[in-house]
Amino acid sequence: MLYYSLNKKAPNASFKDAVIKGLAPDKGLYFPETITPLPQSFFEDFDNLSHSEIAFEAIKQFVLPDIPENILKQIIEETLSFEFPIVELTKNISTLELFHGPTMAFKDVGARFMARCLGYFNKNNTKEVTVLVATSGDTGGAVANGFLGVKGVNVVILYPSGKVSDIQEKQLTTLGQNITALEVNGTFDDCQDMVKIAFLDNEITNRIQLTSANSINVARWLPQMFYFMFAYKQLKNTYKHIAFSVPSGNFGNVCAGMMAQQLGLPMDHFIASNNENNVITEYLKTQLYQPKPSIQTISNAMDVGNPSNFIRIQEIYKHNFEALKNNLSSYSFTDEETKEAMKEIYNTYNYVADPHGAVGYLGAKAYLKNNPEAHCVFLETAHPTKFLDVVEEVILQKQDLPPQIQAVMDKEKASIAVNTYEDIKAYLLA
Protein backbone atom coordinates (compact mmCIF):
# COMPACT_ATOMS: atom_id res chain seq x y z
CA MET A 1 0.00 0.00 0.00
CA LEU A 2 1.18 3.50 -0.87
CA TYR A 3 -0.01 6.70 0.77
CA TYR A 4 -0.34 10.12 -0.83
CA SER A 5 -0.28 13.54 0.77
CA LEU A 6 -3.58 15.38 0.90
CA ASN A 7 -1.65 18.51 -0.07
CA LYS A 8 -0.77 16.66 -3.32
CA LYS A 9 2.78 18.11 -3.44
CA ALA A 10 4.88 15.23 -2.11
CA PRO A 11 5.93 11.80 -3.39
CA ASN A 12 3.84 8.81 -2.38
CA ALA A 13 5.12 6.91 0.66
CA SER A 14 5.05 3.33 1.92
CA PHE A 15 3.28 2.51 5.16
CA LYS A 16 6.67 2.43 6.88
CA ASP A 17 7.66 5.88 5.64
CA ALA A 18 4.23 7.32 6.39
CA VAL A 19 4.44 6.06 9.99
CA ILE A 20 7.99 7.27 10.55
CA LYS A 21 7.42 10.69 8.97
CA GLY A 22 3.97 11.27 10.43
CA LEU A 23 3.35 14.14 8.02
CA ALA A 24 4.31 14.25 4.35
CA PRO A 25 7.20 16.57 3.30
CA ASP A 26 4.60 19.08 2.04
CA LYS A 27 3.03 18.87 5.54
CA GLY A 28 -0.09 17.16 4.28
CA LEU A 29 -1.76 14.24 6.00
CA TYR A 30 -1.16 10.84 4.43
CA PHE A 31 -4.10 8.97 2.92
CA PRO A 32 -4.17 5.44 1.42
CA GLU A 33 -3.92 5.35 -2.36
CA THR A 34 -6.65 2.71 -2.60
CA ILE A 35 -9.40 1.35 -0.34
CA THR A 36 -10.47 -2.13 -1.41
CA PRO A 37 -13.82 -3.20 0.07
CA LEU A 38 -13.87 -6.56 1.82
CA PRO A 39 -16.29 -9.27 0.65
CA GLN A 40 -19.75 -9.20 2.21
CA SER A 41 -19.17 -12.77 3.36
CA PHE A 42 -16.48 -11.47 5.73
CA PHE A 43 -19.02 -9.36 7.63
CA GLU A 44 -21.62 -12.12 7.57
CA ASP A 45 -19.06 -14.48 9.18
CA PHE A 46 -18.25 -12.18 12.12
CA ASP A 47 -19.81 -14.59 14.62
CA ASN A 48 -17.10 -17.13 13.79
CA LEU A 49 -14.16 -14.70 13.92
CA SER A 50 -12.16 -13.45 16.89
CA HIS A 51 -11.44 -9.76 17.40
CA SER A 52 -7.86 -10.33 16.24
CA GLU A 53 -8.99 -12.10 13.06
CA ILE A 54 -11.42 -9.27 12.25
CA ALA A 55 -8.75 -6.63 12.89
CA PHE A 56 -6.16 -8.41 10.73
CA GLU A 57 -8.48 -8.66 7.73
CA ALA A 58 -9.52 -5.01 8.16
CA ILE A 59 -6.05 -3.50 8.28
CA LYS A 60 -3.77 -5.83 6.32
CA GLN A 61 -4.24 -4.04 2.98
CA PHE A 62 -2.98 -0.82 4.58
CA VAL A 63 0.12 -2.36 6.21
CA LEU A 64 1.43 -5.23 4.07
CA PRO A 65 4.14 -5.83 2.89
CA ASP A 66 5.98 -3.33 5.13
CA ILE A 67 5.22 -5.53 8.13
CA PRO A 68 5.10 -9.32 7.50
CA GLU A 69 1.81 -11.11 8.15
CA ASN A 70 3.07 -13.02 11.18
CA ILE A 71 4.45 -9.85 12.81
CA LEU A 72 1.26 -7.91 12.04
CA LYS A 73 -0.83 -10.64 13.66
CA GLN A 74 1.40 -10.49 16.74
CA ILE A 75 1.09 -6.68 16.90
CA ILE A 76 -2.71 -6.98 16.72
CA GLU A 77 -2.82 -9.64 19.44
CA GLU A 78 -0.75 -7.44 21.77
CA THR A 79 -2.80 -4.34 20.92
CA LEU A 80 -6.18 -5.96 21.57
CA SER A 81 -5.50 -7.43 24.99
CA PHE A 82 -8.72 -6.07 26.54
CA GLU A 83 -12.46 -6.12 25.91
CA PHE A 84 -14.82 -3.76 24.02
CA PRO A 85 -18.22 -4.45 25.59
CA ILE A 86 -21.58 -3.04 24.51
CA VAL A 87 -23.95 -1.92 27.27
CA GLU A 88 -27.57 -1.61 26.15
CA LEU A 89 -29.50 1.25 27.77
CA THR A 90 -32.74 1.10 25.71
CA LYS A 91 -33.95 -0.66 22.57
CA ASN A 92 -32.66 2.39 20.66
CA ILE A 93 -29.47 3.33 22.51
CA SER A 94 -26.35 1.38 23.52
CA THR A 95 -22.90 2.47 24.55
CA LEU A 96 -19.64 0.96 23.35
CA GLU A 97 -17.11 0.98 26.19
CA LEU A 98 -13.64 1.81 24.89
CA PHE A 99 -11.96 2.34 28.26
CA HIS A 100 -10.82 -1.13 29.28
CA GLY A 101 -7.19 -0.67 28.18
CA PRO A 102 -4.17 0.31 30.30
CA THR A 103 -4.89 4.07 30.34
CA MET A 104 -8.68 3.65 30.25
CA ALA A 105 -9.24 5.62 27.03
CA PHE A 106 -10.12 4.71 23.45
CA LYS A 107 -6.72 5.93 22.30
CA ASP A 108 -5.04 2.88 23.83
CA VAL A 109 -5.80 0.93 20.63
CA GLY A 110 -4.13 3.34 18.22
CA ALA A 111 -1.23 4.18 20.55
CA ARG A 112 -0.39 0.52 21.24
CA PHE A 113 -0.65 -0.41 17.56
CA MET A 114 1.52 2.49 16.43
CA ALA A 115 4.13 1.92 19.15
CA ARG A 116 4.55 -1.68 18.08
CA CYS A 117 4.77 -0.78 14.39
CA LEU A 118 7.39 1.87 15.09
CA GLY A 119 9.26 -0.51 17.38
CA TYR A 120 9.37 -3.07 14.55
CA PHE A 121 10.59 -0.50 12.01
CA ASN A 122 13.21 0.80 14.43
CA LYS A 123 14.58 -2.49 15.76
CA ASN A 124 17.71 -2.42 13.59
CA ASN A 125 17.97 1.36 13.31
CA THR A 126 20.75 3.15 15.18
CA LYS A 127 19.11 6.56 14.68
CA GLU A 128 16.59 7.54 17.34
CA VAL A 129 13.09 8.70 16.48
CA THR A 130 11.37 11.45 18.48
CA VAL A 131 7.61 11.14 18.77
CA LEU A 132 6.27 14.68 19.21
CA VAL A 133 2.62 14.78 20.20
CA ALA A 134 0.06 17.30 21.43
CA THR A 135 -2.69 16.18 23.78
CA SER A 136 -5.98 17.60 24.96
CA GLY A 137 -6.12 14.88 27.61
CA ASP A 138 -6.21 11.19 26.77
CA THR A 139 -3.75 11.03 23.86
CA GLY A 140 -0.83 11.89 26.14
CA GLY A 141 -1.42 9.07 28.59
CA ALA A 142 -2.13 6.49 25.90
CA VAL A 143 0.96 7.43 23.89
CA ALA A 144 3.16 7.54 27.00
CA ASN A 145 2.00 4.09 28.07
CA GLY A 146 2.14 2.62 24.56
CA PHE A 147 5.69 3.83 23.84
CA LEU A 148 7.16 3.38 27.31
CA GLY A 149 10.52 1.65 26.96
CA VAL A 150 10.32 1.20 23.16
CA LYS A 151 13.90 0.97 21.88
CA GLY A 152 15.20 3.96 19.93
CA VAL A 153 12.07 6.07 20.49
CA ASN A 154 11.88 9.23 22.60
CA VAL A 155 8.44 10.67 23.32
CA VAL A 156 7.79 14.39 23.92
CA ILE A 157 4.22 15.27 24.92
CA LEU A 158 2.86 18.83 24.85
CA TYR A 159 -0.20 19.44 27.03
CA PRO A 160 -2.07 22.62 28.05
CA SER A 161 -1.42 23.56 31.66
CA GLY A 162 -4.54 23.40 33.83
CA LYS A 163 -6.72 22.12 31.00
CA VAL A 164 -6.47 18.35 31.48
CA SER A 165 -7.88 16.41 34.41
CA ASP A 166 -5.63 15.56 37.36
CA ILE A 167 -5.65 11.87 36.45
CA GLN A 168 -4.91 12.57 32.79
CA GLU A 169 -1.97 14.71 33.88
CA LYS A 170 -0.66 11.97 36.17
CA GLN A 171 -0.81 9.43 33.35
CA LEU A 172 1.42 11.48 31.07
CA THR A 173 3.83 13.03 33.59
CA THR A 174 4.78 10.15 35.90
CA LEU A 175 6.27 7.42 33.73
CA GLY A 176 9.82 8.74 33.19
CA GLN A 177 12.23 6.64 31.08
CA ASN A 178 11.85 7.75 27.43
CA ILE A 179 8.77 9.94 28.11
CA THR A 180 8.99 13.74 28.64
CA ALA A 181 6.02 16.02 29.30
CA LEU A 182 6.13 19.69 28.31
CA GLU A 183 3.49 21.74 30.15
CA VAL A 184 2.41 24.54 27.83
CA ASN A 185 1.01 27.85 29.02
CA GLY A 186 -1.89 27.85 26.53
CA THR A 187 -4.64 25.76 24.94
CA PHE A 188 -4.61 22.44 23.10
CA ASP A 189 -4.73 24.35 19.80
CA ASP A 190 -1.54 26.15 20.86
CA CYS A 191 0.08 22.76 21.55
CA GLN A 192 -1.07 21.37 18.21
CA ASP A 193 0.14 24.47 16.36
CA MET A 194 3.59 24.18 18.01
CA VAL A 195 3.85 20.54 16.92
CA LYS A 196 3.00 21.51 13.34
CA ILE A 197 5.57 24.34 13.38
CA ALA A 198 8.24 21.94 14.64
CA PHE A 199 7.59 19.63 11.69
CA LEU A 200 8.14 22.64 9.39
CA ASP A 201 11.32 23.77 11.14
CA ASN A 202 14.36 22.63 9.15
CA GLU A 203 16.71 23.40 12.03
CA ILE A 204 14.93 20.66 13.98
CA THR A 205 14.13 18.18 11.20
CA ASN A 206 17.69 18.30 9.81
CA ARG A 207 18.97 17.06 13.17
CA ILE A 208 16.12 14.95 14.57
CA GLN A 209 13.81 12.36 13.00
CA LEU A 210 10.39 13.59 14.12
CA THR A 211 7.13 11.70 13.90
CA SER A 212 3.72 12.34 15.42
CA ALA A 213 1.50 10.03 17.47
CA ASN A 214 -1.60 12.17 17.13
CA SER A 215 -4.32 10.74 14.92
CA ILE A 216 -2.67 12.50 11.97
CA ASN A 217 -0.34 9.46 11.92
CA VAL A 218 -1.82 6.63 9.85
CA ALA A 219 -0.74 3.99 12.39
CA ARG A 220 -2.61 5.83 15.17
CA TRP A 221 -5.67 6.57 13.06
CA LEU A 222 -6.46 3.41 11.08
CA PRO A 223 -6.64 0.88 13.96
CA GLN A 224 -9.59 2.82 15.34
CA MET A 225 -11.61 1.05 12.61
CA PHE A 226 -11.48 -2.07 14.74
CA TYR A 227 -13.95 -1.21 17.44
CA PHE A 228 -16.69 -0.14 15.04
CA MET A 229 -16.41 -3.66 13.66
CA PHE A 230 -16.42 -5.18 17.14
CA ALA A 231 -19.60 -3.25 17.97
CA TYR A 232 -21.27 -4.41 14.76
CA LYS A 233 -20.39 -8.02 15.60
CA GLN A 234 -22.24 -7.69 18.92
CA LEU A 235 -25.32 -5.96 17.48
CA LYS A 236 -25.82 -7.28 13.94
CA ASN A 237 -28.10 -10.18 14.89
CA THR A 238 -30.42 -7.90 16.88
CA TYR A 239 -30.58 -4.58 15.03
CA LYS A 240 -30.87 -3.80 11.33
CA HIS A 241 -30.19 -0.04 11.31
CA ILE A 242 -27.06 0.87 13.31
CA ALA A 243 -25.73 4.41 13.70
CA PHE A 244 -22.71 5.57 15.70
CA SER A 245 -22.61 8.73 17.80
CA VAL A 246 -18.95 9.67 18.21
CA PRO A 247 -17.78 12.33 20.71
CA SER A 248 -15.58 14.32 18.33
CA GLY A 249 -12.57 16.58 18.81
CA ASN A 250 -9.85 16.05 16.21
CA PHE A 251 -12.24 13.80 14.19
CA GLY A 252 -9.83 10.87 13.86
CA ASN A 253 -12.28 8.48 15.51
CA VAL A 254 -15.32 9.20 13.34
CA CYS A 255 -13.03 9.27 10.29
CA ALA A 256 -11.79 5.77 11.16
CA GLY A 257 -15.40 4.60 11.42
CA MET A 258 -16.01 5.95 7.96
CA MET A 259 -13.00 3.98 6.72
CA ALA A 260 -14.58 0.82 8.19
CA GLN A 261 -17.73 1.72 6.26
CA GLN A 262 -15.67 2.14 3.09
CA LEU A 263 -14.40 -1.41 3.63
CA GLY A 264 -18.04 -2.54 3.56
CA LEU A 265 -19.09 -2.54 7.21
CA PRO A 266 -22.90 -2.23 7.11
CA MET A 267 -23.88 0.84 9.11
CA ASP A 268 -26.46 3.52 8.55
CA HIS A 269 -25.04 6.81 9.74
CA PHE A 270 -22.50 8.72 11.83
CA ILE A 271 -23.18 11.46 14.34
CA ALA A 272 -20.33 13.80 15.27
CA SER A 273 -21.29 14.88 18.77
CA ASN A 274 -19.56 18.13 19.71
CA ASN A 275 -19.25 20.18 22.85
CA GLU A 276 -19.20 23.95 22.37
CA ASN A 277 -16.25 23.55 19.99
CA ASN A 278 -18.66 23.20 17.10
CA VAL A 279 -16.74 23.97 13.89
CA ILE A 280 -18.11 20.89 12.09
CA THR A 281 -21.65 21.31 13.40
CA GLU A 282 -21.62 24.80 11.86
CA TYR A 283 -19.95 23.55 8.66
CA LEU A 284 -22.76 21.06 8.03
CA LYS A 285 -25.27 23.89 8.43
CA THR A 286 -23.49 26.50 6.31
CA GLN A 287 -20.92 24.64 4.14
CA LEU A 288 -18.36 27.13 5.50
CA TYR A 289 -15.36 25.66 7.32
CA GLN A 290 -14.26 28.30 9.82
CA PRO A 291 -11.72 27.22 12.46
CA LYS A 292 -11.82 29.24 15.66
CA PRO A 293 -10.02 29.31 19.00
CA SER A 294 -10.96 26.38 21.20
CA ILE A 295 -13.24 26.82 24.22
CA GLN A 296 -12.46 25.07 27.48
CA THR A 297 -15.19 22.60 28.52
CA ILE A 298 -15.69 19.70 30.93
CA SER A 299 -15.24 17.31 27.96
CA ASN A 300 -11.71 18.57 27.45
CA ALA A 301 -10.46 15.93 24.98
CA MET A 302 -12.88 17.48 22.46
CA ASP A 303 -11.69 21.07 22.96
CA VAL A 304 -10.41 21.45 19.41
CA GLY A 305 -11.07 24.48 17.23
CA ASN A 306 -9.46 23.20 14.02
CA PRO A 307 -9.91 19.41 13.67
CA SER A 308 -6.90 17.94 11.83
CA ASN A 309 -8.67 14.88 10.45
CA PHE A 310 -11.60 16.62 8.82
CA ILE A 311 -9.62 16.91 5.59
CA ARG A 312 -9.45 13.09 5.52
CA ILE A 313 -13.23 12.93 5.90
CA GLN A 314 -13.62 15.31 2.97
CA GLU A 315 -11.26 13.12 0.93
CA ILE A 316 -13.33 9.99 1.68
CA TYR A 317 -16.36 11.77 0.21
CA LYS A 318 -14.32 13.29 -2.64
CA HIS A 319 -15.16 16.77 -1.33
CA ASN A 320 -18.84 16.20 -2.17
CA PHE A 321 -20.70 18.13 0.53
CA GLU A 322 -24.08 16.48 -0.11
CA ALA A 323 -22.59 12.97 0.00
CA LEU A 324 -20.92 13.80 3.33
CA LYS A 325 -24.05 15.37 4.78
CA ASN A 326 -26.08 12.26 3.87
CA ASN A 327 -23.79 10.14 6.04
CA LEU A 328 -22.83 12.55 8.85
CA SER A 329 -24.94 14.57 11.24
CA SER A 330 -23.47 16.83 13.89
CA TYR A 331 -24.86 18.41 17.04
CA SER A 332 -23.30 20.70 19.63
CA PHE A 333 -24.02 20.76 23.38
CA THR A 334 -23.13 22.99 26.30
CA ASP A 335 -21.53 21.93 29.57
CA GLU A 336 -24.87 22.34 31.33
CA GLU A 337 -26.58 20.05 28.83
CA THR A 338 -23.74 17.58 29.26
CA LYS A 339 -24.14 17.56 33.05
CA GLU A 340 -27.91 17.07 32.72
CA ALA A 341 -27.25 14.12 30.40
CA MET A 342 -24.84 12.58 32.93
CA LYS A 343 -27.57 12.87 35.59
CA GLU A 344 -30.18 11.40 33.28
CA ILE A 345 -28.01 8.43 32.31
CA TYR A 346 -27.22 7.70 35.97
CA ASN A 347 -30.71 8.21 37.39
CA THR A 348 -32.56 6.44 34.57
CA TYR A 349 -30.20 3.61 33.65
CA ASN A 350 -27.89 3.38 36.69
CA TYR A 351 -24.95 3.92 34.34
CA VAL A 352 -22.06 6.30 35.02
CA ALA A 353 -20.92 8.13 31.89
CA ASP A 354 -17.94 10.44 31.55
CA PRO A 355 -18.55 13.93 30.06
CA HIS A 356 -17.46 12.83 26.55
CA GLY A 357 -19.77 9.83 26.55
CA ALA A 358 -22.59 12.07 27.77
CA VAL A 359 -22.09 14.33 24.74
CA GLY A 360 -22.26 11.20 22.56
CA TYR A 361 -25.51 10.19 24.31
CA LEU A 362 -27.01 13.62 23.58
CA GLY A 363 -26.02 13.27 19.92
CA ALA A 364 -27.70 9.87 19.78
CA LYS A 365 -30.93 11.25 21.26
CA ALA A 366 -30.92 14.20 18.83
CA TYR A 367 -30.49 11.86 15.85
CA LEU A 368 -33.23 9.47 17.01
CA LYS A 369 -35.83 12.26 17.03
CA ASN A 370 -35.98 12.07 13.24
CA ASN A 371 -34.73 8.49 12.85
CA PRO A 372 -36.69 6.43 15.39
CA GLU A 373 -36.01 3.15 13.56
CA ALA A 374 -32.25 3.36 14.22
CA HIS A 375 -30.25 1.75 17.00
CA CYS A 376 -27.70 4.33 18.04
CA VAL A 377 -24.38 3.41 19.68
CA PHE A 378 -22.61 6.21 21.49
CA LEU A 379 -18.91 5.76 22.22
CA GLU A 380 -17.90 5.91 25.87
CA THR A 381 -14.35 7.00 25.13
CA ALA A 382 -12.84 7.24 28.63
CA HIS A 383 -13.49 5.80 32.07
CA PRO A 384 -15.60 8.21 34.16
CA THR A 385 -13.07 8.25 37.02
CA LYS A 386 -10.62 10.04 34.71
CA PHE A 387 -12.92 13.04 35.25
CA LEU A 388 -13.58 12.35 38.91
CA ASP A 389 -14.31 15.92 40.07
CA VAL A 390 -16.96 16.49 37.40
CA VAL A 391 -18.56 13.04 37.66
CA GLU A 392 -18.87 12.98 41.45
CA GLU A 393 -20.15 16.55 41.56
CA VAL A 394 -22.85 15.79 38.98
CA ILE A 395 -24.16 12.38 40.07
CA LEU A 396 -23.46 12.95 43.81
CA GLN A 397 -21.97 9.48 44.22
CA LYS A 398 -18.41 8.63 45.21
CA GLN A 399 -16.61 6.51 42.62
CA ASP A 400 -14.10 3.76 43.29
CA LEU A 401 -10.84 4.09 41.39
CA PRO A 402 -9.98 1.17 39.09
CA PRO A 403 -6.49 -0.38 39.39
CA GLN A 404 -5.17 1.40 36.29
CA ILE A 405 -5.97 4.78 37.89
CA GLN A 406 -4.84 3.84 41.40
CA ALA A 407 -1.44 2.89 39.98
CA VAL A 408 -0.61 6.51 39.04
CA MET A 409 -2.31 8.51 41.78
CA ASP A 410 0.59 8.50 44.24
CA LYS A 411 3.31 9.03 41.67
CA GLU A 412 5.10 12.36 41.48
CA LYS A 413 4.43 14.61 38.49
CA ALA A 414 7.46 15.55 36.39
CA SER A 415 6.97 18.15 33.65
CA ILE A 416 8.88 21.00 32.04
CA ALA A 417 7.05 24.32 31.85
CA VAL A 418 7.20 26.05 28.45
CA ASN A 419 5.66 29.32 27.28
CA THR A 420 6.67 29.70 23.63
CA TYR A 421 7.60 27.68 20.58
CA GLU A 422 11.20 28.79 21.07
CA ASP A 423 11.19 27.06 24.49
CA ILE A 424 10.08 23.81 22.83
CA LYS A 425 12.61 24.15 20.02
CA ALA A 426 15.41 24.71 22.50
CA TYR A 427 14.40 21.58 24.41
CA LEU A 428 14.26 19.44 21.25
CA LEU A 429 17.64 20.65 19.98
CA ALA A 430 19.25 20.13 23.38
Annotated catalytic residues are 107
How far apart CA 145 and CA 135 sit, in angstroms, is: 14
Which of 119, 165, 120 lies closest to 138, judged by CA?
165
What are the Cα distances from residue 365, in Å, to 91, 339, 372?
A: 12, 15, 10
Rounded to an integer, what distance in angstroms lies between the CA atom of residue 100 and that of residue 331?
27
d(CA 430, CA 424): 10
Task: Tell me whether residue 371 is exposed, middle or buried, using C-beta atoms within 10 angstroms of its C-beta: 0 to 12, 13 to 18, 19 or more.
Answer: middle
Q: Give the integer Cα–Cα distance in Å for 40 and 95.
A: 25
For residue 89, give the DSSP letter: -
DSSP string covering 246-307? EE-SSSHHHHHHHHHHHTT----EEEEEESS--HHHHHHHHS----------SSGGG--SS-
Residue 312 vs residues 80, 105, 132, 281, 333: alpha-carbon distances, Å: 25, 23, 21, 17, 24
Per-residue CA distances from 220 to 193, 238, 239, 245 (Å):
19, 31, 30, 20
Q: Cβ(218)–Cβ(15) under 8 Å?
A: yes
CA distance 262 to 264: 5
Give the E-state strand segments of 111-267 in sequence order: 129-134, 153-160, 179-184, 209-211, 242-247
Contact assessment for residue 117 and residue 211, using Cβ atoms and an 8 Å cutoff: no
Q: Residue 168 is which amino acid? A: Q
